[in-house]
Amino acid sequence: MKFVYAFSEAHTLGKEQLGGKGAGLSAMTALGLPVPPGFTVTTEACRSYHMQRQTPASLWQEVQTALQQLEHQTGKAFGDPKNPLLLSVRSGARFSMPGMMDTILNLGLTDDVVEGLSVLTGDEGFAYDAYRRLIQMFADVVLGISRHHFETALEDLKLSREVQDDLALSGQDLKELVGQYKRIFKRHAGFEFPQSPQFQLQEAILAVFKSWGNRRAVTYRKLHHIPEHLGTAANVQAMVFGNLGENSGTGVGFTRDPITGTPEVFGEFLLNAQGEDVVAGIRTPQPLSELQTHLPEAHQQLLDTAKLLEEHFLDMQDFEFTIEQGKLFMLQTRAGKRSARAAFKIAHDLVKAGKISKADAVSRIDLASLEQLLYPHPVEGHGQKAVLKGLPASPGTASGVVVFSADEAVEVSRTRPCILVTPETSPEDIHGMASARGILTARGGMTSHAAVVARGMGCPAVVGAGDLQVDREAGVLRIHGQQIRAGETITLNGSTGEVFLGSLPLQEGVLEAEAFEVLSWADGLRRLEVRANADTPQDARRARENGAQGIGLCRTEHMFFSEERIPLVRQMILARTAQEELEALRLLQDLQRRDFEAILLAMDGLPVTIRLMDPPLHEFLPQMSDLLVQVTKLSQQRSETNEEEYQEVLELLERVKQLHEVNPMMGLRGARLGITRPSIICMQVHALAQATQNLLNAGHKPRPEIMIPLTGTAEELAYVRQIVEEVLSSHDLHLPIGSMIEVPRACLVSRQLTRSADFLSFGTNDLTQMTYGYSRDDASRFLGTYVEKGLLEFDPFTRLDEAGVGSLIQLAVQDARKERPGIKLGICGEHGGERHSIAFFHRVGLDYVSCSPFRLLAARLSAAQAALKTGHEEAVLA
Amino acid sequence: MKFVYAFSEAHTLGKEQLGGKGAGLSAMTALGLPVPPGFTVTTEACRSYHMQRQTPASLWQEVQTALQQLEHQTGKAFGDPKNPLLLSVRSGARFSMPGMMDTILNLGLTDDVVEGLSVLTGDEGFAYDAYRRLIQMFADVVLGISRHHFETALEDLKLSREVQDDLALSGQDLKELVGQYKRIFKRHAGFEFPQSPQFQLQEAILAVFKSWGNRRAVTYRKLHHIPEHLGTAANVQAMVFGNLGENSGTGVGFTRDPITGTPEVFGEFLLNAQGEDVVAGIRTPQPLSELQTHLPEAHQQLLDTAKLLEEHFLDMQDFEFTIEQGKLFMLQTRAGKRSARAAFKIAHDLVKAGKISKADAVSRIDLASLEQLLYPHPVEGHGQKAVLKGLPASPGTASGVVVFSADEAVEVSRTRPCILVTPETSPEDIHGMASARGILTARGGMTSHAAVVARGMGCPAVVGAGDLQVDREAGVLRIHGQQIRAGETITLNGSTGEVFLGSLPLQEGVLEAEAFEVLSWADGLRRLEVRANADTPQDARRARENGAQGIGLCRTEHMFFSEERIPLVRQMILARTAQEELEALRLLQDLQRRDFEAILLAMDGLPVTIRLMDPPLHEFLPQMSDLLVQVTKLSQQRSETNEEEYQEVLELLERVKQLHEVNPMMGLRGARLGITRPSIICMQVHALAQATQNLLNAGHKPRPEIMIPLTGTAEELAYVRQIVEEVLSSHDLHLPIGSMIEVPRACLVSRQLTRSADFLSFGTNDLTQMTYGYSRDDASRFLGTYVEKGLLEFDPFTRLDEAGVGSLIQLAVQDARKERPGIKLGICGEHGGERHSIAFFHRVGLDYVSCSPFRLLAARLSAAQAALKTGHEEAVLA
């Protein structure tokens, strides 16, 4: 096995072996661009080093051979004071990664060589400055000696010489400084700065390898799901100098504007400087366009190079260069980071120019940035510091005055935008949540009520902000010592979880025409159908605009929570006689029919999956604790005047107690409710049937489907299905009837369920809850700790847990298809809009995903990317 | 295929084809016993009839052939007035089953034949009485005409003749009655009573087949898990008459005393009567021993026959006989129903006599009756009617005065036995539950707190009695209209779910020496190890007495609920400083160490699985609703004098609110608690380590194992294991560390879990909860409806759901063994003591089951029976 490749022989190898930087350098070399010669030590050497705790036997021999070739090529010799070859060593992994060793420059300098260099260049200052930099970087990177010790010495020297700029120091000054650096080095290292160039080089390469295991790098890989085994390459390259006077310089650039995607070279440079000076930010760089006036030839060469790079890589490039005494050298090239807007623009341009395929364009769009693009976000560089951090529950940014209750939110929102701040939200707060611009809660996780509702409404939300104390009575919220009163303005960023005092300048999320066109290409490439979770006609319309192919989940009970309906719902629940119940049901049926008509109309011609009543009935009643307090108060002030009220509240309390459940999530709800109290679902099916008939009569094409929630046995599904069918047949209707799969058992008996189901839809929120045994209302107490301690790689309510929940889904899909190959299978949980989860759903062969209208665009793109990835993998395997 | 077999040719066929009755008749025929000749139409014919909606083509031809043979054998002819052959038709399935057609007698009688019979016997009364009975039975069984119409006519006749007894009616009377019966028949059937004997016979056989599909029979099969496809046989047999005068008679008997198992013939008879007269109970039968004085020869023949039957069948038999004019005929034999006591005695006797093997003896014991035997139960025939019915949550019967709170129970139990009646119980009621003789709750299912604790304590309990209203304040419980006040006596039967007013006479559960010996044989036959769930030294001792091979589940938190410890536990939970927490922990550690010492000592030499703290912390704090009421009251009467109390309660309320969970079952508990608040489990492990060291120093052999509850990911198990190992190594101890599998996900990743587990134990209570999504505290609201509507075959908390929960367990076992073939796998949920579940655990290859000390005997037996069954199946397959 060969571990070392010269840039000139490596361009057929990929990033896996060369790392990103090495691959870029060898590609540019092959393109005939001016790259300082050098070689790459492959990632394989790094892997081998980490696995066997030593470098491969042949490694140093290969390095020697490559070095000799390099000496031959440059006509210089490593460690030769008369004609010294100086080297840089840089790490370069498959994915760029903060925390890894970056660079050591000027390797090969020793006390002898620096003197030779001084003579050779006639510039003592340059030579000793280079030596000084080497000592400091080597100490830092190889031995972990803080830069601080060296920087203090430099500052002291500048102070004593009364100069501001390093460049103003004389050669003698720098020579003295090197002496001081060497003393500092010895004091901390316990030995003299090594005078063997070979030793310097070996240690630098080893430092690159070791830095793969740095804590920061490990954490970064964990957070970004970069495999641990990849390893990094090390690039050894002949030095070129941008600090050899005013006809030298260094800079970075993009082949396009990374914000807009416009095809014009974009970047900045510094004359008479090395790369690290640009990074350090002591001097202010100039825009690249100004290079033309200083070094017009190099500038033109750079423009030509940029064009060539984009032609070659068929993507926007981010490059680094150095100009040594008028001569341009390219030091790096890679795909450039870009704004979401630019990403679409670039992909679109390249397709239009016939450079890349539509599939390539679609697979290149970074999903996170698309999502970012869709929501208003703070203008970059606003410079404010967050006062609080919670979970980024629903993306987007909102500013408004603080209110503490749903009613207040409704009131205040008439005149001013407001942010609803509560310990947590409940279904009774819906009207307030709909009025507020943003929602902030102290408790709850990524799928708490607040989070789910907020995402569904596209309303920015930060939840589970543990440091937040809400004192509703005093009208104050406290964050550590700080107090914020009702009426004061805050800004929350639901994409990051940050909360700021006052308003922040915002910019709207906009999608340009190019983006829409790229998304339409995505539609042509995906296999998964994309539907929306939508409960209202407004949601349905928005979903349709965003390309939904139907509604995958319409939660009918959400229609009951509105202020004017809840008294009716309570009358139905608390009815003492069949007559009372019937009256309430009749009124509700009429309202529900109208809801259905509007939603079906908005989705005319597309399927609309209506889920029958799911939540436990006590969700519609007042809180038991509120009633308890009320009763206690009334009983203490009991008199003739309030006797009636007391009795009334007491009775209500009794009913609420009867319906109270210890674990409502696993209680009397879903199909169980349909079986023990069928009147409610009968009413719903009647309403749906009437709505359907009315629309059919008016010449429309309603396509309702009925979904029975929370079934866990074939028997209960068959039972409820029969109830539904009887009602439908009284209207002479036949509609598809299916079931929502929300408990693990349903996955285990999916084969039997298919006998009574025309479709099955996985409700992955509840399925995740029960598979893990994590109550989504309570899990925020430990999920944070779990992620922090590395016990969970990610929040399973946000991204589907493939090993657990996923394997249940896979089992269910296989079994269901065994029994009924053509059965329609989908998913309508929160995961329906998340890209890793969508990729999984694609792989296991679901027919559709359904997600919030606001995540539709992302879902369409993800579904296409998943299809492309699978296609690619299949092609590779074939 | 042959569908009809004469008794004399069928004894090599089994019950599957002949049914129980047919098999008994052919066996007796083969033994040379006096059986009236006849033939059996097989179950195969019935199955074929039900599947093809018609009888097999060859059936009636085969019946004709068999009939001719029968005529030949008896020298009589079917339908011949001069020498008539009369027949009975009886059903006989593999398992006897109420609701099926039982018998039609005297088939072959017509208007002509009855006259012939009258002449032949010289007894007009006998002949017309036989015809009358035929018409009535045929009308009832074949056409569904109510017996009532005929019985009224008979009663009217007896009234007009002024006689009490049928036998007092004259031949003429009966002849007239037959005329009336025929008119009644025609009125209801629409046609004359059929005069074709062949038609009568065919219809009777078809009626047997049809009755297999009767609603009552179907329900019975469902309830008793009898396969639907078996079908029934029909037995056609020459009539013999017990009503031909005082030297005739009929009776039933057992080869042994079915209550005690003593080997002496036991039974009763009636002279001059047919079988149905014994059943009807109009005349009182005499004990069989008295037959000696009436018909000594027949009596002696019967004793000899009984002996022969038991010798042949190697089991106690239950038989029917008829004596026709001094001659004995055997009409049926089958294994007799017996008391649990008799079951052991008989099995034991037969082994000792070398008749059957120990394995046979063990496999014959009916488990339900063993369980029954172990608990006190009402004396049979007490004749009282239950006033209330709930779920039979914990077997046994208890009488006592009604008390409404745990404190009252403690108080009252000092002087009188009491029954604790509450809406539901909570951990704070433990002391009261321990004092009460029985527990009755209005809410909760088979695994509610009350049920689990009661079973664990062997305390009879009826739970989820929905008709029960508990008015604690008024000190009254209401059942529909009825009121029962505190201090009144009730009796509850936890084996049946019945509640009675007043005391019932009870008999103690006792196990005789024979039973213990049979159980010890069982121990030699089982593969599954049997452990006990035990939390106290007393439980541990009882478990050891009952043959436990260790403790499979010791719930350490149960030690915290005692009255004197709970303040300390609260101090720990509510500690405001590390110092406060440490103090409480130190005191708790000392108490816990003593608990552990006592339990380990009681189980010296046997493994004791200690489960670390599992429940959420708020279970140890006062109820939020109680505190809310208290705070509200105090705030209304706020003054200087109670200000301090108010502030104290308010603060407590705040802490309780902070810990409050929406779904505590899926909240911060188990391993999650160990991770977020490790101080508690550290304390527990220190206490266990100290206890172990102390016992080792004293020369004992403690064998503790540590079980980490509620893990769902490999990462969290590894994390907690590390904490536990660190504490143990500070004591220089290494103990087995395993995990409890309670969430579905754990089953799906069992392979990964084994990397940090020395053993895995399935907690099937929680696993069932989460797999179904049934909260065991709330499911009683719909589980009853589900079972009633046939949506659930059984309560999955009582008997393991093999299709759902079972398939998860099977998956987990397979995966775990793939990774670590030798890993110890067990189960410690409620199902560990239930026989079907134990059979399943045996089949999937678990190593042990752990159950309540009171179910140990049943578990030992079940485990052996499961092993025998599997062995048998393997032998059959081999």
Which of chain B's residues have a Cβ under 8 Å away from the Cβ of A712?
Answer: 772-774, 804
* Residue B705 in contact with partner chain A when CB distance is under 8 A: no
Can you tell me the distance from the alpha carbon of A160 to that of A156, in angstroms, rounded to the nearest whole number?
Answer: 6
A234 plus A248 within the same structural domain:
no
A482 plus A606 within the same structural domain:
no
Can you tell me the distance from the alpha carbon of B630 to that of B625, in angstroms, rounded to the nearest whole number?
Answer: 9
The CATH number for B145's domain is 3.30.1490.20
pLDDT at B33: 97
Residue A659: CA count within 13 A, CB half-sphere: 20
pLDDT at A17: 94
Of A306, A336, A366, the residue at which a domain comes to its end is: A336
* Residue B719 in contact with partner chain A when CB distance is under 8 A: yes
* Residue A628 in contact with partner chain B when CB distance is under 8 A: yes
pLDDT at A63: 97
**Percent of chain A with pLDDT strictly greater than 90:** 63
Can you tell me the distance from the alpha carbon of B249 to that of B238, in angstroms, rounded to the nearest whole number?
Answer: 17
b/e for B48-74, b at 16 or more Cβ within 10 A? bbbeeeebbeebbebbeebbebbbeeb
- With CA atoms as reference, the chain B residue closest to A779 would be B667
Q: Kindly report which listed range (A72-76, A545-549, A701-705, B786-790) carries the lowest average pLDDT score.
A: B786-790
Taking the CA of residue A676 and the nearest CA in chain B, the distance in Å comes to: 7
Flag whether B358 is in a domain: no
Can you tell me the distance from the alpha carbon of A584 to that of A472, in angstroms, rounded to the nearest whole number?
Answer: 35
* Residue A800 in contact with partner chain B when CB distance is under 8 A: no
pLDDT at A282: 60
Cβ-defined contact of A744 to B771 (cutoff 8 Å) = yes
pLDDT at B248: 95
Residue A509 has pLDDT above 90, yes or no: no
Q: Kindly report which listed range (A215-219, A581-585, A589-593, A772-776) carries the lowest average pLDDT score.
A: A215-219
pLDDT at A576: 84
List the structure tokens of A73. Answer: 């090529």
- With CA atoms as reference, the chain B residue closest to A443 would be B658
Cβ-defined contact of B771 to A777 (cutoff 8 Å) = no
How remote is the C-alpha of A134 from its chain's centroid?
39
Reported as a pLDDT band with limits 50, 70 and 90, residue B313 is very high
Highest mean pLDDT, choosing among A91-100, A117-126, A360-369: A117-126
Of B735, B761, B788, the residue at which a domain comes to its end is: B735
Can you tell me the distance from the alpha carbon of A811 to that of A749, in angstroms, rounded to the nearest whole number?
Answer: 9
Question: To probe the interface with A, which of B630, B636, B666 has the most A CB atoms within 10 Å?
Answer: B666
Hey, which residues 357-416 in chain B have their CB within 8 Å of chain A?
Answer: none
pLDDT at A868: 94
The CATH number for A571's domain is 3.20.20.60
Q: Which of B633, B772, B779 sits opposite A745 (nearest CB)?
A: B772
Q: What is this structure's pTM? A: 0.77
Structural domain span for residue A648: 627-660
Question: To probe the interface with A, which of B467, B478, B655, B713 has the most A CB atoms within 10 Å?
Answer: B713
* Residue B794 in contact with partner chain A when CB distance is under 8 A: no
Question: To probe the interface with A, which of B770, B802, B809 has the most A CB atoms within 10 Å?
Answer: B770
Q: Kindly report which listed range (A466-475, B82-91, B201-210, B449-458) carries the lowest average pLDDT score.
A: B449-458
A813 and A825 Cβ atoms separated by less than 8 Å: yes
Residue B415 has pLDDT above 90, yes or no: no
B201 plus B81 within the same structural domain:
yes
Average pLDDT over residues B122-136: 94
* Residue A787 in contact with partner chain B when CB distance is under 8 A: no
* Residue B1 in contact with partner chain A when CB distance is under 8 A: no
Residue among A109, A4, A114 nearest A60 (CA): A4
Taking the CA of residue B673 and the nearest CA in chain A, the distance in Å comes to: 8
A575 plus A471 within the same structural domain:
no
Contacts of B474 by beta carbon, 8 Å cutoff, 6+ apart: none
B164 plus B67 within the same structural domain:
yes
Can you tell me the distance from the alpha carbon of A534 to that of A310, in angstroms, rounded to the nearest whole number?
Answer: 43
Which of chain A's residues have a Cβ under 8 Å away from the Cβ of B624?
Answer: 625
Reported as a pLDDT band with limits 50, 70 and 90, residue B84 is very high
Residue among A397, A425, A384 nearest A492 (CA): A397
Can you tell me the distance from the alpha carbon of B755 to that of B820, in angstroms, rounded to the nearest whole number?
Answer: 8
Can you tell me the distance from the alpha carbon of A737 to that of A730, in angstroms, rounded to the nearest whole number?
Answer: 16
Residue A447 in 3-state DSSP? coil
Which of chain B's residues have a Cβ under 8 Å away from the Cβ of A772?
Answer: 712, 743, 745
Can you tell me the distance from the alpha carbon of B714 to that of B699, in angstroms, rounded to the nearest whole number?
Answer: 37
B35 plus B17 within the same structural domain:
yes
B675 plus B578 within the same structural domain:
yes
Reported as a pLDDT band with limits 50, 70 and 90, residue B209 is very high
Average pLDDT, chain A: 90
Cβ-defined contact of B773 to A781 (cutoff 8 Å) = no
Cβ-defined contact of B791 to A713 (cutoff 8 Å) = yes
Which of chain A's residues have a Cβ under 8 Å away from the Cβ of B778?
Answer: 661-664, 666-668
Higher pLDDT, A455 or B1: B1
Taking the CA of residue B435 and the nearest CA in chain A, the distance in Å comes to: 26
Can you tell me the distance from the alpha carbon of A40 to that of A27, in angstroms, rounded to the nearest whole number?
Answer: 12
pLDDT at B92: 92
A170: number of Cβ within 10 Å: 13
Question: To probe the interface with B, which of A781, A797, A814 has the most B CB atoms within 10 Å?
Answer: A781
A226 plus A263 within the same structural domain:
no
Q: What spatial distance separates the first Cα and last Cα of chain A, rounded to whole Å? A: 27
Taking the CA of residue A50 and the nearest CA in chain B, the distance in Å comes to: 23
Per-residue pLDDT of A244-280, as tens digits, reads 889 999 998 999 987 788 999 988 899 998 877 765 5
Cβ-defined contact of A743 to B773 (cutoff 8 Å) = yes
Contacts of B490 by beta carbon, 8 Å cutoff, 6+ apart: B399, B400, B402, B419, B440, B484, B499, B500, B501, B502
Cβ-defined contact of B775 to A666 (cutoff 8 Å) = yes
Can you tell me the distance from the alpha carbon of A184 to that of A157, in angstroms, rounded to the nearest whole number?
Answer: 14
List the structure tokens of B675. Answer: 């991770």
Flag whether B370 is in a domain: no
Residue A339 has pLDDT above 90, yes or no: no
pLDDT at B384: 85
Please state the domain count of chain A. Answer: 6
List the structure tokens of B557. Answer: 């938190």
Contacts of A199 by beta carbon, 8 Å cutoff, 6+ apart: none
Residue B231: CA count within 13 A, CB half-sphere: 18
B543 plus B679 within the same structural domain:
yes
* Residue B770 in contact with partner chain A when CB distance is under 8 A: yes
* Residue B475 in contact with partner chain A when CB distance is under 8 A: no
pLDDT at A872: 64
Question: To probe the interface with A, which of B745, B777, B814 has the most A CB atoms within 10 Å?
Answer: B745
A45 plus A173 within the same structural domain:
yes
List the structure tokens of B701. Answer: 């052999």
Q: Report CA torsion sign: B335, B338, B342, B347.
A: positive
Q: Which of B625, B719, B777 sits opposite A624 (nearest CB)?
A: B625
Flag whether A354 is in a domain: no
pLDDT at A447: 60
How remote is the C-alpha of A15 from its chain's centroid?
24
Residue A376 has pLDDT above 90, yes or no: no
* Residue A157 in contact with partner chain B when CB distance is under 8 A: no
Residue among A209, A231, A262 nearest A19 (CA): A231
Residue A875 has pLDDT above 60, yes or no: no
Identify the H or E element spanning A705.
Answer: strand A703-708
Active-site residue set of B? 449, 828
Which of chain A's residues have a Cβ under 8 Å away from the Cβ of B770?
Answer: 666, 744, 770-771, 773
Reported as a pLDDT band with limits 50, 70 and 90, residue A855 is confident
Residue A462 in 3-state DSSP? strand
Cβ-defined contact of B629 to A628 (cutoff 8 Å) = yes
**What number of C-beta contacts closer than 8 Å exist between A and B?**
189
Can you tell me the distance from the alpha carbon of B624 to that of A646, in angstroms, rounded to the nearest whole number?
Answer: 22
Q: Which of A633, A668, A748 sits opposite B778 (nearest CB)?
A: A668
Helix residue spans in B365-405 (DSSP H):
367-374
Q: Which of A632, A773, A777 sits opposite B742 (nearest CB)?
A: A773
A613 and A573 Cβ atoms separated by less than 8 Å: no
A731 plus A748 within the same structural domain:
no
DSSP string for residues in B701-745: --EEEEEE-S--SHHHHHHHHHHHHHHHHHTT----EEEEE-SHH
Flag whether A370 is in a domain: no
Helix residue spans in A238-283 (DSSP H):
275-280
A384 plus A415 within the same structural domain:
yes
pLDDT at A2: 93
Per-residue pLDDT of A275-332, as tens digits, reads 777 655 567 788 899 999 999 999 999 999 999 999 999 999 999 999 999 999 999 9
Per-residue pLDDT of B482-511, as tens digits, reads 899 999 999 999 888 999 999 988 776 667
Contacts of A210 by beta carbon, 8 Å cutoff, 6+ apart: A101
Phi then psi dihedrals of residue A628, to 5 deg:
-60, -45
Flag whether B521 is in a domain: no
Of A281, A309, A336, the residue at which a domain comes to its end is: A336
Taking the CA of residue A469 and the nearest CA in chain B, the distance in Å comes to: 11
Cβ-defined contact of A665 to B628 (cutoff 8 Å) = no
Cβ-defined contact of A745 to B771 (cutoff 8 Å) = yes
* Residue B664 in contact with partner chain A when CB distance is under 8 A: yes
Cβ-defined contact of B665 to A664 (cutoff 8 Å) = no
Average pLDDT, chain B: 90
Residue B609: CA count within 13 A, CB half-sphere: 33
Tell me whether strands A703-708 and A607-611 are parallel, antiparallel or unpaired.
parallel
Question: To probe the interface with B, which of A791, A808, A811, A815 has the most B CB atoms within 10 Å?
Answer: A791
Flag whether B595 is in a domain: yes
Q: Is B485 exposed, middle or buried (0-12, 13-18, 19+ CB in 10 A)?
A: exposed
Residue B424 has pLDDT above 60, yes or no: yes
Residue among A504, A475, A486 nearest A387 (CA): A504
- With CA atoms as reference, the chain A residue closest to B775 would be A666
Flag whether A862 is in a domain: no
Cβ-defined contact of A773 to B712 (cutoff 8 Å) = yes
Catalytic residue among A418, A682, A828, A851: A828
Per-residue pLDDT of A186-203, as tens digits, reads 999 999 999 999 999 999
Cβ-defined contact of B666 to A769 (cutoff 8 Å) = yes
Taking the CA of residue A768 and the nearest CA in chain B, the distance in Å comes to: 9
Flag whether B322 is in a domain: yes
Which of chain B's residues have a Cβ under 8 Å away from the Cβ of A668?
Answer: 778, 781-782
